[in-house]
């Protein structure tokens, strides 16, 4: 058997190569090696590609004195190939969902369910601080706490979205936004995470969900998936329209699901007194925070990285058919078409792409 595999490797800003790499090996007794069967591309991967996360190279140079590249990807499903001596919940041959968050389960933060900030080398590390899932094989640390058995009958495209997109939307958007029955909700950004917010918000029975984007195709999909109002902010003033729809008051919860100043600015202008602004988008630049206008409004403003503490619950909900997440998987590619998949995802509006699925 060969000791190498194909993978999508980031070598620096705008330098992404589909190339031959060494297969991962068990490094710690809590590790597992997973043979991927499906993976995908996240907006965060595009951010890394554009140089949004220079800490990847900086950290590698500090530890290894040089940067030899990082395999991207933190979402996927696969089959357990090998487990470390301390892994007890999984065995060779098990079909699993890989969580984007690795967690030791014992540190101070893990005991608070703040798994994104695991103090023992966990958190969001796949495709970031260690090699990720856009490869034929991946090493998953803390396997017992960071993998989920793939339920029989669950659509495997949906299973991939349970790695990151759906729990991120639910936890950092809907839960942090404290969406309650009867609330009015505005979601700014109709990408995969914004759509996940749209779907999981409906579990809490809000009275109104307004979706804002500049892509008419995505807005039409949002209508089909439960949005009560859609606004194309490229054609009309989103702030004015939302105020008009809410009798001038604004919404109970505004969810920022893009990560740029323009969408943040919409959110901070549309939350009514006592409301919630939940920032989900990954920001690479500073934004204007209008505290001089917001201090008086008794707002709750939250930020966060997914903890994946609701993945198990969401998996059961998906198995019941309550969340039609499969509609988000708009494009499918073979593994050797990964470079093409990146090109399609980078031009999502033109390609009418939501989530691209790569099959191995």
Q: Could you read off the pLDDT of 211-229 as tens digits, one per residue?
A: 999 999 999 999 999 999 9
Write out pLDDT tens, residues 27-80. Answer: 999 999 999 999 999 999 999 999 888 899 888 887 777 888 999 999 999 999
CB-CB neighbours of 22 under 10 Å: 11
Sheet holding 300-302, edge to edge: 229-232, 208-213, 184-188, 251-256, 271-279, 300-302
Tell me the residue range of the domain where 269 lies.
166-302
Q: Under 8 Å CB-to-CB from 15, ≥6 apart: which residues?
A: none
Task: Point out the domain boundary residue: 254, 280, 302.
Answer: 302
143 shares a domain with 45: yes
Name the residue with tokens 């503490």. Answer: 309
44 shares a domain with 174: no
Give the whole-angstrom CA distance, residue 212 versus residue 295: 25
SS3 230: strand
CATH number assigned to the domain comprising residue 268: 3.40.50.720
Contact yes or no for 233/261 (Cβ under 8 A): no
219 shares a domain with 151: no
| pLDDT for the residue numbered 1 | 61
93 shares a domain with 140: yes
| pLDDT for the residue numbered 144 | 98
170 shares a domain with 290: yes
339 shares a domain with 238: no
Tokens of 326: 């499969």
Tokens of 87: 């892994």
- pLDDT of 327 strictly over 80: yes
| pLDDT for the residue numbered 321 | 85
Comparison of pLDDT for 53 and 163, the residue scoring more: 163
Write out pLDDT tens, residues 83-138. Answer: 999 999 999 999 999 999 999 999 999 999 999 999 999 999 999 999 999 999 99
212 shares a domain with 261: yes
Task: Point out the domain boundary residue: 302, 318, 334.
Answer: 302
pTM reported for the whole predicted model:
0.95
Burial 188-223 (b: 16+ CB within 10 A, else e): bbbbbbbbbbbbbbbebebebbbbbbbbebbbebbe
Q: Under 8 Å CB-to-CB from 52, ≥6 apart: which residues?
A: 282, 284
170 shares a domain with 214: yes
Q: DSSP secondary structure string, 159-219?
A: HHHTTTHHHHIIIIIIITTT--TT-EEEEE--SHHHHHHHHHHGGG--SEEEEEES-HHHH
CATH number assigned to the domain comprising residue 109: 3.90.180.10
CB-CB neighbours of 90 under 10 Å: 18
Burial 257-281 (b: 16+ CB within 10 A, else e): bbbbeebbbbbbbbbbeebbbbbbb
Question: How much of the chain, in percent, has pLDDT values that exceed 70?
Answer: 100
The secondary structure of residue 350, as a DSSP letter, is H
Question: Sorting pLDDT into bands at 50, 70 and 90, what band is 324?
Answer: confident
298 shares a domain with 198: yes
211 shares a domain with 343: no
H/E stretch holding 341: helix 338-346
The overall average pLDDT reported for the chain is 96
β 32-40/76-83 pair status: antiparallel
136 shares a domain with 225: no
152 shares a domain with 190: no
Task: Point out the domain boundary residue: 272, 302, 332.
Answer: 302
Domain count, the chain: 2
Q: Under 8 Å CB-to-CB from 244, ≥6 apart: which residues?
A: none
Write out pLDDT tens, residues 246-302. Answer: 999 999 999 999 999 999 999 999 999 999 999 999 998 999 999 999 999 999 999
């Amino acid at each position: 058997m060969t000791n190498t595999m194909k993978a999508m490797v980031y070598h620096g800003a705008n330098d992404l190569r589909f190339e031959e790499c060494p297969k991962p090996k068990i490094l710690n007794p809590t590790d597992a090696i997973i043979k991927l069967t499906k993976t995908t591309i996240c907006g965060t991967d595009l951010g890394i590609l554009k140089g949004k996360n220079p800490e990847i190279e900086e950290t590698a140079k500090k530890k290894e004195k040089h940067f030899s590249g990082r395999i991207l990807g933190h979402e996927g499903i696969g089959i357990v190939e090998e487990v470390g001596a301390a892994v007890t919940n999984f065995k060779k041959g098990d079909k699993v969902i890989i969580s984007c968050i690795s967690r030791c389960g014992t540190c101070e933060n893990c005991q608070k369910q703040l798994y994104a900030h695991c103090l023992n080398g966990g958190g969001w590390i796949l495709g970031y601080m260690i090699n990720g899932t856009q490869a034929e094989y991946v090493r998953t640390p803390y396997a017992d706490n960071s993998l989920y058995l793939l339920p029989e009958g669950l659509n495997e495209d949906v299973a991939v979205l349970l790695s990151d997109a759906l729990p991120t939307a639910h936890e950092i958007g809907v839960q942090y936004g404290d969406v309650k029955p009867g609330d009015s909700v505005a979601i700014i950004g109709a990408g995969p995470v914004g759509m996940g917010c749209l779907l999981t918000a409906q579990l809490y029975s809000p009275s109104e969900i307004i979706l804002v984007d500049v892509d008419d195709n995505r807005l039409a999909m949002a209508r089909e998936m439960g949005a009560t109002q859609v606004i194309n902010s490229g054609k009309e003033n989103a702030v004015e329209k939302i105020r008009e729809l809410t009798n001038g008051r604004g919404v109970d919860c505004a969810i920022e699901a893009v990560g740029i100043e323009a969408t943040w600015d919409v959110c901070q202008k549309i939350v009514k007194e006592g409301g919630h602004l939940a920032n989900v988008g990954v920001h690479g630049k500073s934004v204007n925070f209008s505290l001089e206008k917001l201090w008086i409004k008794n707002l709750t403003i939250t930020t966060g990285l997914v903890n994946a503490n609701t993945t198990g619950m969401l998996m059961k909900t998906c198995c019941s058919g309550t969340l039609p997440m499969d509609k988000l998987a708009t494009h499918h590619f073979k593994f050797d078409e990964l470079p093409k998949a990146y090109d399609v995802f980078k031009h999502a509006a033109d390609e009418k792409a939501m989530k691209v699925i790569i099959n191995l």
